[in-house]
Amino acid sequence: MIDLTKDQGRWTVTLNRPDKANALTVDMLEQLDAIFAAAQAAHDLRVLVVTGAGDRVFCAGADLGQAKDATGITTNPIWESVSNRLAALPCLTIAALNGTLAGGGFGVGLACDLRLAVPGAKFFYPVLKNGFLPQPSDVKRLNALIGPARTRLILLAGQKLGTAEALSIGLIDRIVDALDMPQMIDQLSAAALTAREPVLAAIKKLGQSHLSDDLRQDCYRAVYQDDSDALLRIRR
């Protein structure tokens, strides 16, 4: 239910369960976790794209219908592992949102560097209504991306946003017709695909908040001094 294709320096990960709105089971999360762990070690990887099968929903979050214990799946630490591994990848990551993003699916979308969405996609995170807590990293990334007030709009007021509003507040970066999505991904991937590994990894690391002085210096050493040990440190 998780497909992976590799095209030289670009990997495409597809949530392939369209009959269930690409809702995530624990098994699917474990597959994603393994893929992102492998991506961390792939020195030839420059771009990783995450998308969904079908033309309506990118991901509806956790598959609560399949789980014997809904609380068990929503509190499983695998969610945080998946999103944190994805966010830490030393390459360009793109969420190609082929449709609506809901619930726990936010973890994947928010962990990517860029978010592209097709017209008509909706964005909502109904944890308050369902009686669950959002993943801690999701709240942190939402706050950083759109600010505390708009995060409350989604999490506390339970509002469902359309693509125009999502774009206006910075939740997504571009609205792209489905037929144009492959071309847009190619365009956004071009620079990263031709980049040297140390430069790409260093620029990604420099974009992190609260970066230590030591890691900042490692970025310069990796790029300007070809320091392999510094490169390993900034790839983590």
Q: Go through 26-63 and write b for each residue having 16 or more CB atoms within 10 A of its CB, e for each that does not.
A: bebbebbbebbeebbeeeebbbbbbbbbbebbbbbbbb
Model confidence, pTM: 0.96
Mean pLDDT for all residues in the chain: 95
pLDDT band at 70 (very low <50, low <70, confident <90, very high): low
pLDDT at residue 19 tops 70: yes
Is the pLDDT reported for residue 121 higher than 60?
Answer: yes
Q: What is residue 236's predicted lDDT score, i.e. its pLDDT?
A: 87
46, pLDDT greater than 80: yes
Is the pLDDT reported for residue 27 higher than 80?
Answer: yes
**What would the pLDDT profile of 184-219 be if each residue is shown by its tens digit?**
999 999 999 999 999 999 999 999 888 999 999 999
Assign 3-class secondary structure to 108-140: HHHHCCEEEECCCCCEECCHHHHCCCCCHHHHH
pLDDT value for 74? 84
Please state whether beta strands 10-15 and 2-7 pair in parallel, antiparallel, or not at all (unpaired). antiparallel
When pLDDT is averaged across residues 35-54 and rounded to a whole number, the result is 98
pLDDT in tens, 141-186: 999 999 999 999 999 999 999 999 999 999 999 999 999 999 999 9
Question: Do 11 and 48 meet the contact criterion of CB atoms below 8 Å apart?
Answer: yes
Q: What does the chain come to in residues?
A: 236
pLDDT grade, residue 73 (50/70/90)? Answer: confident
What does the pLDDT read at residue 69?
A: 64
Closest-CA residue to 12 (of 79, 89, 93):
93
Residue 66 has pLDDT above 70, yes or no: no
Given pLDDT bands bounded at 50, 70 and 90, which one contains residue 80? Answer: very high
Burial class (CB in 10 A: 0-12, 13-18, 19+), 141: buried
Q: What pLDDT does 120 receive?
A: 97
The CA distances from residue 82 to 26, 109, 121, in Å, are 11, 11, 23
pLDDT at position 189 is: 98
Average pLDDT over residues 104-122: 97
pLDDT grade for 59, boundaries at 50, 70 and 90: very high
Give the domains, in start order, of the chain with CATH numbers: 2-189 (3.90.226.10), 196-235 (no CATH)
* pLDDT of res. 134: 95
